Amino acid sequence: MDNVRVRIAPSPTGYLHVGTAHTALFNWLFAKHNKGKFILRIEDTDIARSSKEYEENIIEGLKWLGLYWDEGPYYQTQRLDLYKKYAEELLKKELAYYCYCTPEELEERRKEALAQKKPPRYDRKCLYLSDEERAKYEREGRKPAIRLLIPEGKTIFNDIIRGEIEFNNQDIGDFVIMKSDGVPTYNFAVVIDDYTMGITHVIRGEDHISNTPKQLFIYNAFGWTPPEFAHLPLLLGPDRSKLSKRHGVTSVTEYKRMGYLPQALVNYLALLGWTPEENKEIYTIEELIELFDLRKVTKNPGIFDITKLEWINTQHIRRLSIKELADLTLPFLKEAEWFREENFNLEYYYKVLGLLQERLKTLSQIREYADYFFFDNLEYDKDTVKKVCKHPDTYFYLEKIKDEWNKLDEFTATNLETSLKTLAEQNQIPTKNLVHPIRVALTNKTIGPGLYEIAEVLGKEKTLKRLENFISFLKQI
């Protein structure tokens, strides 16, 4: 397709939601696949609820995901004169009219219509006002809104994902395009923006399907060719209700703070509602761009599963080089209360990460998994120690293995394992009777990477010192 132009148009009334990020991603992939343009527009006409904090969060989140825009950001509040100009054009064509009805009057007539089991659409009272009636309202200080005159009949459009969709015009009624305060309504501003920005495809959530006929009325009123529409499936929680805070974290930047990789979140979001023909689940950004096909997007909602996201994040962490992983995890490591910058050794940290990389589900877990590599005063739990040291002679065998390991010239995982197994065979005891106590002695944990690899990274001096401390603790209890 030539000259593809798409947009993401978030409202700065909240933090960047994963649902908005999902829509942004599909627009971005479509643009990149077709060598088109991706435009950022900030729809900030809800002045009371919009804030600079939310705007900055949205921009930060899009950048973190790598969804950089080719144009923008454009701001609707900087385009108010443009909306006014086009609204006045419709008034001159008599395709729109002033409405002086107050919110109270409208609500009363809405209730009357519902009581009579009629659609609660506008009754066109102000369409037929005389000059005297208008003058009366003006003297009362009423500031009019502007309504679009809706034609009779049906509105039909073809959705790229959902096929043909039909609406009955009389169910919609004449809706407001400019509010009495001079601010455009959502549907009017969107059409003016999309047309003047040359948007060729509007890709958005299915909750906007009901807005489409209203927007088509505006396109038709101006005689403009509308863009193509594609309405994406919504993201749902595990209970199949709309994804919200009660399902857990929904803010993109919160996933950043939790230690998820942007490429992992992009990978996961891309697969919610779209399935590439390749039978795999882990993709690079480049692969997603090459394979993306909007026609293959499903109508079925995407179920946001944090467990699946964790798994995908784990796979992407494993693809990182040790240096990349060090750069990404170091900020999280520095947040740990036990971290000391002056004692930090980068080469040592590379070795630590070599052991922990396969175990990390998120970058932030480095604080939990790496602690025993950086401080020596382990506070052993009495119950845990008793659980792994059931044999009354455990401390005796630990002293023996400490002596054996002290004799090693090359303190490597292979030599450590050979030495321990030899001692176990000579004393006719299961190796687990030594391995589990030593693991607790060195790490104060019952699970973790390979014991011998841990000891090799800790080094001979630290390993023997921890064994000595553990033996003393064991004798006390």
Give the residue among 422, 444, 421, 302 at the shortest CA–CA distance from 370: 444
CB burial readout 71-86, b (16+ within 10 A) else e: ebbbebeebeeebeeb
* Distance (Å) of CA 112 to CA 106, 127, 145: 10, 20, 22
Contact between 178 and 84 (Cβ < 8 Å): yes
List residues with catalytic annotation. 245
Matching residue, tokens 């060729």: 200
